[in-house]
Every structure is written in C-alpha cells, then in structure tokens.
Amino acid sequence: MNPFSLRGSLRLRLLVSTLFWIILSIIVAGWGLGKLFHQHVEAQFVAELKNHLDQLTAQLLLNEQNQPQLKIAPSDPRLNKPLSGLYWQIGQLDNTNHPEEKVLLRSRSLWDETLSVPTDILADGEIHQHRIDGPHARDPIRHPPVLEISQEQIDHPLPRREGTAWLTALDQLARFQRIFHLKAPAQDAGVVLRVLERSVTIHSHTLRLMVAADESQMAEPVMNFKGQLWLALVILGAGLTLAALMQVMIGLAPLKSLHAALGRVRNGDTQKMEGTFPSEIMPLVNEFNSVLVQNAAVVERARTQAGNLAHALKTPLSVLANAANSPQKKEDKLAHLVLAQVNAVRKQADYHLSRAQAAASVLLPGMRTPVKAVVQGLVRVMQRVYAERNLEFELFPVDEALAFRGEEQDLQEMLGNLIDNASKWATSRIEIQVECILGKLSVRIDDDGRGIAEKERVHLIKRGVRADEKVPGTGLGLAIVEDLANMYGGELSLKKSHLGGLSASLTLPVA
Amino acid sequence: MRILVVEDDANLAAQLVEGIHAAGYVVDVAGSGSDAHFMGDTEPYDAVVLDIGLPQMDGITVLKKWRAAGRTMPVLILTARDTWHEKVAGIDAGADADDYLTKPFQMEELLARLRALIRRAGGHASTELVCGPLTLDTRSRRASVDGTALALTSHEYLVLAYLMHHQGEIVSRGELIEHIYAQDFDRDSNTVEVFIARLRKKLPPGLIETERGLGYRLTKAQ
C-alpha cells in the first residue's frame, strides 16, 4: 500500500484535516477581523462627521435678512481646501410640500459643487445619513479638476437697435453666457461621499445642515490594517502548520516504536512487547502481550497434556511389554502378539505426540533459540549416553549470536534425532557444523558409519521406516525431523558424507 | 550392589524389582518423588532407576536435589515422553543423569544399561572386572579364578561384586551391609563376617585383607 495515500497514511490524514481547518479558520478570522475593523473605522468616521455637524449647528444663526450665517467658520483646514474630501453645506427647504433645495452656504472645499442629497423631511435636530456620489476627493494639485467652459446662447430676444453695428456685435456677444464649471476628472467619478444631515428650524426657517466626507478616507486605514492583518494571519497559519506537522510527528512517533517492538517480538528478540508507550497505546500493547502469554500458555498446556498422555499410556505399555517378554513366555504366541502391538502403539503415540507439539509451537511469535547452547547440550548428552563407544564428536565453532526462529524443544527434537541417528551408526566420528548460509540456519551432521544407499534415503524419511532393526530406535526419528523442519519452512536432506557415512543437512529459519 | 527403583506405577515397580533382583541386585522401591529424595539422600545406592513423571516431586527435581547435595550415584532415567528436551533436561541441564531409557522398554535393555552405569561409576571399562587371578563377569554374574568358575551364593556374590567394584579401597562392614541388603532387611553385621570367611575359603589366599577396626580391602594377591 502506498504509505502516502490519504487512505493509507495516518500522518497525511491528520495533516490534511488540520491544514483544512487552519486555512478555513484563518480565512474566516481574516474576513471577520477586517469586517470588525471596517465597522470600527466607519463608526469613527461617522462620529467625526457628527462632530463637524454639531460644530456647524452650534455656530449657526440667522442674520437680519433671515439668511443663515456662521458665527465662526469651522476650523478644519480641509474645509478650506478645494475638493479636500470634507465638506459642509447649509441649504433651505423652500416648500415642505414640494421640497426644492436652495443652497445658502457651503464650505470652501466644495468649490463649485453642491451636495445634492435626496430631499427628505426630518424632525428638528434629527440626523440622517446619506451616501451620494460626490466631487472627487483627490489631491486637487495632482489631479486637478477639469475646468469646463461652455457657451450657450441665451435665448432671449435682442432689442432692436438700428444703426449701431458695434452694439449689435456686442449684443451678439451678450447673447452667449459663459459657464465655467469645475468638474472632477472622469476617472474619479466613483467617489462616494458620506453625508450627515440635520434639519434645524430657526424662526420657522427650516435649514438643512450637511457635513460630508469622502468615504475613501476610511478605505486607507482599512486597507493598511487588512494588509497587516493578512500578513500576520499568514505568519500565524505558517506557525500553526508547523505546529501541526510537529504534533503529527511527535504524536505518531510512538507508532514507530510500536512497530519496532512488534518487529523484535516477531524476530524472537523479545517474548513480549517491551517499552513504555503513551496511555492510548499501552492498552493495545498490554492486550497484545496478554494474547502472547495466553498463546504460550495454550502451547504449554498442550505440551503438558501430551506429556501426561504419553506417561499415562506408556507406563501400562511398559508393564504389558515386560509381562509379555518374560523368559518363561518365549514361546507364547499371545506374548509375541502383545509385544508387537505394544511396539505399534508406541510408534503411533510417539509420532502423533511430536506432531501435536510441533503444530502448536509454530504458531507462537517471539521465539528465538540460540543454537550453540542446544547443540552443545545435545553433544554432552550423546557423549554420556554413548560413553561406551568412545565416539568422537567434533562440533565446529558456532557463532554465539546464531539463533533459530522457533521453539527450543523443536530444535532439540530435530537436532537430537539427527545427532542420535549419526551416533548410532557412526564407527568413531561425528562432525557437526552449524552455519548461517544465505540467511538460513544450516546444520550439517556427518558420521563415518556405513551410510545408506541413495534409493533407501528417501524411503528412510517416510514414517516409521527403519533401515536396520539391529540398532535400537523407533525408526521415526528422521520422519519427525522432516515434519518439524517442514512446519518451520525448512527442509531435511540426506546425502553421502565425506566421512563415508550419512550426511544429514537441515535448513531452518534464522532469527 | 544396591539399587533404588523410583516408579509410581505399582505394576511396573513390581516388574522392575523382580527383574533387577533376578539380576542379582538388592532393590529398594520408592513410589513418590519425596520418598525417593529422602531415600536417595540417606541411603547409599550403587545406582538409581528413576522415573521422571512422579507424584509430589518430579524425577528431574529429585535428581537435581541429589546432585546439589553431592550424591553422585549413577542414575538411569525412565521417560514416557520420547523427546530430546526431556532427555537433555535429565542428563545435561544440571540434573546430570547418566543414561535414559524410554518407556516402554525391555528389561534386558534396562539391565544392560544399569550394569554399564555401575561399571562406569567404578571406573571399569569392561563388563568383566579383574583383580589378579580373580575375574568377575557382571553380565553373567559369574566369578572365576584363573578360568575356574567359583560356586557362590547370591550374598557371597554381592559381597564379592561390591569389593571388586571398589578394588584397593577399604570397605567397612557397615558399607557392605548397606549395599547387600535392602532397606527393610533385618541387618546383622556378623553375617558379613560369615560371608567374608566363606569367600576367603573359595578365593586364593591374601585377596581379601582385613584392616583392623576399618573394614576389608580387595587387593591383587602377590
């Protein structure tokens, strides 16, 4: 499985889901904060306008002609700078039924423009907000307003003045009225003004006070803030991503050690999973270990039961065999039958008991048996058992670290049978060589006996076949070795030895 | 020669006693591990036939305890399970048994192994023990002087065999009694003197020396 596919990788899953939420949160936070700041700036903007409006209202009075007049002109320098973006205007509503505005006073900054706000009727002192298209609010020096001069014919009848040609020409001229008009440059047409208006009624004159400012003034701090905000959010996002990466790495690190611990069990380095794991993983490890212990207990129980069965079966068999074998019964047919049957039962029991044992043990992980100690132990046993025959056992040097991936008892059974077999047939010398060849444990046992003919060798491995009845033994030895070796994925082969006798080679998995 | 048979199955124990006794040994029986341990620890046996599967205390444990206590008599273990694991456990892994035999076994095989063990324990390579003109064949239980067979009673044979296995060593009267009589036999040290006297009459003079206050010694006659 590809370790980097989303389905296959826990790391990728965690990273992708975390990154998704980080990015989403940052976008939402950026948008939300920008919005909040915009609202805040707008509130300030409106508050400032209101301040100006209040000032204007406070300075307003009517002169004798009932014309509005300001006691002191508003002080903000922007109000005197043409098209600065801050304006005020005082108008009058002529008729409440057909309101038609007449501009009475306006700020210098408005230049030739007026603030044309839709007329609405307000209660006295009430403030209303409008957004209107306004004159451009740029720096008039850098973007000077365009001066438009248009002429139009004044369409009123000329007085007839006969004989005064120059006057006629003058009249002709007078027929045109020049209109000077400052217009904002075309590209600045999009300027939007925020207007605060308030109706004030003095001596039954309803005046319309307006203060307006270019909304683009708000945009600048908002843009600045947003620029910094997004920069900060990108840095935050990068930090969070890094944190997520580290979290995933650190968080998933125990899985790596879990893997290693499992590997050690599989290789047989340890019998159970060792090490301390996080509290989320520890229960798994404990469960796994208890399964291992349980398995081992099952195998042990199977072994014990096989042992008990063997004991229970073979002691009565011994009694039967001894009774049938007494010298007085040499000619007794029944005694012969009993002896033969006892022998048959024994063979069957031995064969099936060892198979049962092997079948159970192969299932166990975590098995590792150093070979050297087992071989040395077996050689000592053979030396003692065959002490009479003065056999020479030559065990070539064995690497201490070389280990069999499997049960000690099974290795003892296989090697024991092979060395015992060699000892039975050897004249004087047995050679044992244990090596690791091509990643496999290889054990070769040679004897200097009379050997076995090639066609007999295959036959010999078959269950219960004995090459010669002269040497005590069940004849099962090689068959059991073959079975056990096969169960471990190894194999047994027999060939002629350089010593003259039989050479038995066993290959087994190495741990 | 006194043998301890440790076997919990009464039938098999009886057969073993019968067979071993018939071969000219004195036999004691223990039916459990703890009895066996006690007997092997307190009585001098020339060899032990030890079953591994025993109640109370298994054979391997009994053997390990004996060995730990310095008891060095040869031990032949009987195993029901024909596994090398058990054989290694019995012979190599601290238990130090001398040989094994798998059940079911043949009595002749067991006796042959037993004889070999006793002989090896005495440092003798052959089944025939020789002391000067005297030859003792442990297999056929016959003694002869210069090829002439001696007629010996079973007790005389036991005394002579014990002395032959311990040639040149001083063997006390008590030691002889312990090795020629079973545990529950009514022992009388005077009988040993009777057997020695009878043997001296049948053997060439000077073979059995008396060490005053210590015991007897079998030496090669000058």
Instruction: Check pLDDT > 80 for residue B202.
Output: yes
In contact, A149 and A180? CB cutoff 8 Å: yes
What is the pLDDT, as a whole number, of residue A155?
52
pLDDT in tens, A418-453: 999 899 889 999 999 999 988 899 999 999 988 877
pLDDT in tens, A331-356: 788 888 888 888 888 878 877 777 77
Amino acid at A44: Q
Q: Which run of H or of E encompasses A29?
A: helix A10-59
Do you know the residue count of chain A? 511
Interface test with B, best of A303, A314, A413, A423 (most B CBs within 10 A): A314
Cβ contact B82–A319 (<8 Å)? no
C-alpha to C-alpha distance for B103 and A304, rounded to whole angstroms: 17
What is the pLDDT, as a whole number, of residue A470?
43
Q: Which residues of A touch B12 (CB under 8 A)?
A: 315, 318-319, 322
What is the pLDDT, as a whole number, of residue A180?
54
Query: Which of A496, A388, A408 lies closest to B118, judged by CA?
Result: A388
- Using 50, 70 and 90 to split pLDDT, how confident is the model at A467? very low
Cβ contact B82–A417 (<8 Å)? no
What is the pLDDT, as a whole number, of residue B36?
92
- The answer to whether B109 contacts chain A (CB < 8 Å) is yes
Instruction: Check pLDDT > 80 for residue A376.
Output: yes
Q: What percent of chain B has pLDDT over 70?
A: 95
Q: Strands (DSSP E) along A270-352, which ranges?
A: none
Q: Which residues contact A149 (CB under 8 A, 6 or more apart)?
A: A178, A179, A180, A181
Please report the DSSP string for A398-459 in residue order: --TT-EESS-HHHHHHHHHHHHHHHHHH-SSEEEEEEEEETTEEEEEEEE-S----HHHHHH
What is the pLDDT, as a whole number, of residue A294?
87
Which ipTM did the prediction report? 0.70
Query: Which of B108, B7, B31 lies closest to A314, judged by CA?
Result: B7
Rounded to 5 degrees, φ, ψ at B161 are -60, -40
Is the peptide bond prior to A221 cis by the omega test (within 30 degrees of 0)? no
Instruction: State in Å, rounded, how far the first CA of chain B is from the last one.
Output: 27
pLDDT in tens, B113-158: 898 888 888 777 677 888 888 888 877 788 888 888 888 888 888 8
Cβ contact B84–A420 (<8 Å)? yes
Instruction: Check pLDDT > 80 for residue A161.
Output: no
A387: closest chain B residue by CA? B120
- Using 50, 70 and 90 to split pLDDT, how confident is the model at A1? very low
Tell me the mean pLDDT in the region B201-207: 85
